[in-house]
Structure 1
Amino acid sequence: MSPPDHAPYPDAPADRDRWILERRPPRNPLDPRRPYAFLVESEPGPSGGPAVDVATIFLTNRECPWRCLMCDLWRDTLEETVPPGAIAEQTRYALDRMPGLVPERSELKLYNAGSFFDPRAIPPSEYPGVARLAAPFRGTIVECHPSALGRRALEFRDLLGKPLEVAMGLETVHPEVLERLNKRLTLDGFRRASRFLAEHGMSLRVFILVRPPWLTEAEGLEWAKRSLDFAFDCGAAVCSLIPTRGGNGAMEALAASGDYAPPSLASLEAATEYGLSLGAGRVFADLWGVEAIPRCPSCSAARVERLRVMNATQQAPPPVACPDCG
Structure 2
Amino acid sequence: MEHEAIGENRTRPTLTLLLTARRCPVECVFCDLWKHNHPGATPVGSIPHQIRGATASLTSPVGTWAIKLYNGGNFTDPLSIPPADWPEIAELCKPFERVIVENHATMCGERLLRFRDLLSPQLEVAVGLETSNPDVLARQQKQMTLDDFAGAAEFLQRNEIALRCFVMLQLPHANPKKCVDDAVQAVIHAAQAGAQFVAIIPTRSDTPAMQKLIATGEFVSPTLMQLETALHDSLSQIRTDDSGCVVTADTWDIEMVRHCPTCQDARIKNIQAMNSRQQSLPVSRCDRCGS
Cα distance, 1:283 vs structure 2: 0.7
Separation in 1, partners of 2:15, 2:233: 28
Aligned to 1:62: 22
Separation in 2, partners of 1:92, 1:275: 37
* 3-state SS of 2:75 partner: coil
What is the one-letter code of the residue matched to 2:89?
A: V
Separation in 2, partners of 1:80, 1:214: 31
Aligned to 1:154: 113
Aligned to 1:242: 201
Work out which of the residue numbers 29, 35, 41 in structure 1 matches 2:2. Answer: 41
Cα distance, 1:182 vs structure 2: 0.3
1:116 and 2:75 aligned? yes
Work out which of the residue numbers 74, 82, 87 in structure 1 matches 2:47. Answer: 87
1:287 and 2:246 aligned? no
* 3-state SS of 1:67 partner: coil
User: Structure 1: which 5+ residue stretches go unaligned?
Assistant: 1-39
Contact 2:169 2:179 in 1 (8 A): yes
Separation in 1, partners of 2:44, 2:60: 27
Aligned to 1:273: 232
Separation in 2, partners of 1:294, 1:55: 28
Q: Which moved more, 1:101-110 or 1:246-255?
A: 101-110
* 3-state SS of 1:170 partner: strand
Separation in 2, partners of 1:62, 1:76: 10
Aligned residues: 285
1:49-78 alpha-carbon deviations (Å, 9 max, x no partner): 732110110111111111110010000111
Separation in 1, partners of 2:274, 2:184: 16
Separation in 2, partners of 1:189, 1:101: 40
1:322 and 2:286 aligned? yes
What is the one-letter code of the residue matched to 1:183?
A: K
Work out which of the residue numbers 298, 302, 305 in structure 1 matches 2:266. Answer: 302
Aligned to 1:196: 155
- Runs of 4 or more off by more than 3 Å in structure 1? 47-50
**CA RMSD, 1 decimal:** 1.3
User: Structure 2: which 5+ residue stretches go unaligned?
Assistant: none
Cα distance, 1:299 vs structure 2: 0.6
Quick one: percent identity of the two aligned structures? 38
Separation in 1, partners of 2:5, 2:39: 36
Aligned to 2:276: 312
Separation in 1, partners of 2:247, 2:188: 12
* 3-state SS of 2:231 partner: helix
Work out which of the residue numbers 186, 191, 198 in structure 2 matches 1:232. Answer: 191
TM-score scaled by structure 2? 0.95
Cα distance, 1:111 vs structure 2: 0.3
Separation in 1, partners of 2:120, 2:141: 35
* 3-state SS of 1:197 partner: helix
Separation in 2, partners of 1:101, 1:175: 45
Aligned to 1:33: none
What is the one-letter code of the residue matched to 1:283?
A: V
